[in-house]
């Protein structure tokens, strides 16, 4: 076996917002991959609308750049631990990683998460200290932090001897010296070529190709993306497809694509070490091996982290069902959820006794939130229940997911934040005071304790706090009363349209969630009560006009600003007896049982059942 010297396969890993997608942009632009007159968007790799809006990478993507005589395949991975399913698979495609770390913020929870995956695969790391141009950058301390993290994660001696390159992705500059930047990305290219091993050549051996990513195209159908592990793959070739259970079927490769910049380019054949896309195999799935039909050998099946959070997805049955969406039936909902698990291996979908209800499990709130947001943009109407952590029995002990939480808070709000986390069963494991007026605190906290905490956290820190968390491990169950909402809600008693008069009459009872003129129905949640019990309110009340009470009298009355929820905030806000109704135009909170009398009867029965136990 000799190596294919002119190829380098690398993944870029980093915590959210440390600049990896911007870095890929600059590597692409300076490599001469694009023509001078070609229009290239900023963050060119983030192609999905949601990625552009939120400034995060959700789906792993690959690109190829040419530098001198080298072809460098780069895979941009998601930074959120919720998309760990993507990160794990990418590690099988590459020989090295660029670990991008913010030169001021240093190591964050997701940095640790993605780096652990890379080190487990024995990949060669290069550390990129990005944003070196920030006025308060602290390169020397951050390199020490990274070294400590490598040691903590059990890196071997070769991995500990990592090279460091200092860069400013925004300015498109890099160098091996923290004090002085070169005017281009030359230092970065050289570092990649010099340190990342070339893939080993094994074209004489039987074909093996692991499907790592999936794409879909209306004309070509399902497109499998991955790396040729050994052998040669050709257009029109007959192959064996080995599924995750070891079953084999015959197929033929119709189209084969290599990558050039952000484009797919049709190629006749590819050899070991190449990252390619292929079409023509109808039911191909992630984790399956494409092999030589005369010698079908499967590659090791990808291990995927188990889901930690689940929600119930239901057909929308509110009084407004079918008014705003295109897809409203359980058949369409089921079809869409099962289509999602073909490309998202970290997601699980289970049918229930009811044909209108499905249990969907994922890696976290963001993971499930992105799926719901995509569905509503496609025209779906649905309802979801409160997110619940998945409790497991490990070695006979009831266990729940524990998150590692890192927060940066102003010194003056540290006490209040620590107290609020204490009540959510958080345990402090580290505290760093950089002397800049903000303190970094690190906690281990049950995932249940974080559901719905973000709004409270921002209030306590007056918007100055920054919080990041990632799944750490499963730990012993912390008892029943962790997290959850302490306030009651204002529930509409009528079907109708909210009026200014109706809103003003209940404003002192709590905070409202909607504007005048909004359509409401009985059982819909219209606000948060100032106390811990729910109350029924009439928000549609009209003012009775008489000679004494003229209609213009209210013109000067000012209404308080309502609290309008985003999708993630609405999901976090839910209680056990509530649903979130999601349509292409609206997000509404509602009680599971809409009628007041039926709700009270159900609550009474629940309390009686608990008492008898």
* Known binding residues for GTP: 17-22, 130-133
| Helix ranges (DSSP H) in 126-255 | 139-152, 157-160, 186-195
Report d(CA 48, CA 54) in Å as an integer: 10
480 token code pair: 């029943």
Q: Which of 19, 16, 9 is nearest to 42 (CA)?
A: 19
Residue 433 neighbours by CB under 8 Å, 6+ apart:
411, 439, 440
The helix/strand/coil state of 570 is helix
| Residue numbering of the annotated binding site | 17-22, 130-133
Residue 170: how many other CB atoms lie within 10 Å = 15
Residue 246 neighbours by CB under 8 Å, 6+ apart:
298
Pairing of strands 96-102, 7-14: parallel
| Helix ranges (DSSP H) in 381-510 | 414-422, 447-450, 453-460, 500-506
Length of the chain equals 613
Report d(CA 459, CA 456) in Å as an integer: 5
Q: Which residues of 325-362 are buried (b: 16+ CB within 10 A; e: fewer)?
A: bebbebebbbebbeebeeebbbbebeeeeeeebbebbb
């Amino acid at each position: 076996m000799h190596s294919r010297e002119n190829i380098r396969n690398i993944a870029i890993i980093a915590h959210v917002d440390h600049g990896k997608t911007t870095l890929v942009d600059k590597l692409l632009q300076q490599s001469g991959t694009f023509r001078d007159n070609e229009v290239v968007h900023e963050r060119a790799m983030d192609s999905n609308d949601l990625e552009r809006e939120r400034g995060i990478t959700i789906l792993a993507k690959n690109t190829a750049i040419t530098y001198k005589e080298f072809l460098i395949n780069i895979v941009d991975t998601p930074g959120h631990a919720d998309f760990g399913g993507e990160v794990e698979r990418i590690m099988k495609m590459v020989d090295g990683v660029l670990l991008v770390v913010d030169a001021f913020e240093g190591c964050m929870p997701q940095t640790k998460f993605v780096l652990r995956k890379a080190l487990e695969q024995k990949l060669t790391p290069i550390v990129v200290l990005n944003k070196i141009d920030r006025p308060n950058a602290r390169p020397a301390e951050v390199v020490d932090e990274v070294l400590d993290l490598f040691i903590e994660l059990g890196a071997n001696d070769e991995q500990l001897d990592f090279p460091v390159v200092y860069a400013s992705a925004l300015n498109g500059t890099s160098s091996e010296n923290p004090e002085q930047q070169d005017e281009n990305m030359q230092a970065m290219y050289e570092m990649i070529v010099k340190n990342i091993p070339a893939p080993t050549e094994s074209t004489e051996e039987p074909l093996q190709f692991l499907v790592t990513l999936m794409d879909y195209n209306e004309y070509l159908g399902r497109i499998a993306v991955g790396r040729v592990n050994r052998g040669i793959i050709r257009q029109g070739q007959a192959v064996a497809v080995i599924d995750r259970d070891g079953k084999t079927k015959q197929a033929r490769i119709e189209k084969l694509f290599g990558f050039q910049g952000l484009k797919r380019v049709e190629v006749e054949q590819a050899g070991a070490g190449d990252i390619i896309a292929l079409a023509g195999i109808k039911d191909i799935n992630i984790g399956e091996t494409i092999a030589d039909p005369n010698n079908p050998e499967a590659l090791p099946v990808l291990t995927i982290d188990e889901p930690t959070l689940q929600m119930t997805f239901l057909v929308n049955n509110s009084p407004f069902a079918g008014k705003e969406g295109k897809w409203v039936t359980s058949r369409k909902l089921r079809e869409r959820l099962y289509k999602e698990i073909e490309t998202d291996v970290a997601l699980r979908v289970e049918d229930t006794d009811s044909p209108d209800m499905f249990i969907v499990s994922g890696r976290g709130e963001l993971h499930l939130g992105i799926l719901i947001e995509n569905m509503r943009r496609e025209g779906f109407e649905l309802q979801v229940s409160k997110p619940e952590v998945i409790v497991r029995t490990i070695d006979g002990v009831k266990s729940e997911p524990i998150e590692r939480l890192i927060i940066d808070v102003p010194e003056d709000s540290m006490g209040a934040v620590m107290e609020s986390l204490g009540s959510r069963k958080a345990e402090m494991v580290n505290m760093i005071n950089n002397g800049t007026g903000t303190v970094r605190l690190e906690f281990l906290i049950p995932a249940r304790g974080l559901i719905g905490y973000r709004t409270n956290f921002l209030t306590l820190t007056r918007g100055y706090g920054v919080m990041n968390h990632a799944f750490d491990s499963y730990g012993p169950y912390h008892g029943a009363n962790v997290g959850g909402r302490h306030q009651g809600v204002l529930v509409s008693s009528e079907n109708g349209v909210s009026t200014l008069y109706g809103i003003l009459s209940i404003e002192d009872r709590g905070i409202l969630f909607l504007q005048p003129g909004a359509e409401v129905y009985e059982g819909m949640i219209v606000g948060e009560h100032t106390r811990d019990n729910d109350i029924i309110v009439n928000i549609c009340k009209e003012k009775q006009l008489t000679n004494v009470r003229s209609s213009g009298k209210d013109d000067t009355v000012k209404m308080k600003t309502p609290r309008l929820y985003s999708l993630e905030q609405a999901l976090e806000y839910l209680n056990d007896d509530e649903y979130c109704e999601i349509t292409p135009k609206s997000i509404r909170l509602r009680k599971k049982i809409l009628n007041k009398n039926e709700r009270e009867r159900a609550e009474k029965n629940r309390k009686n059942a608990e008492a008898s136990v």
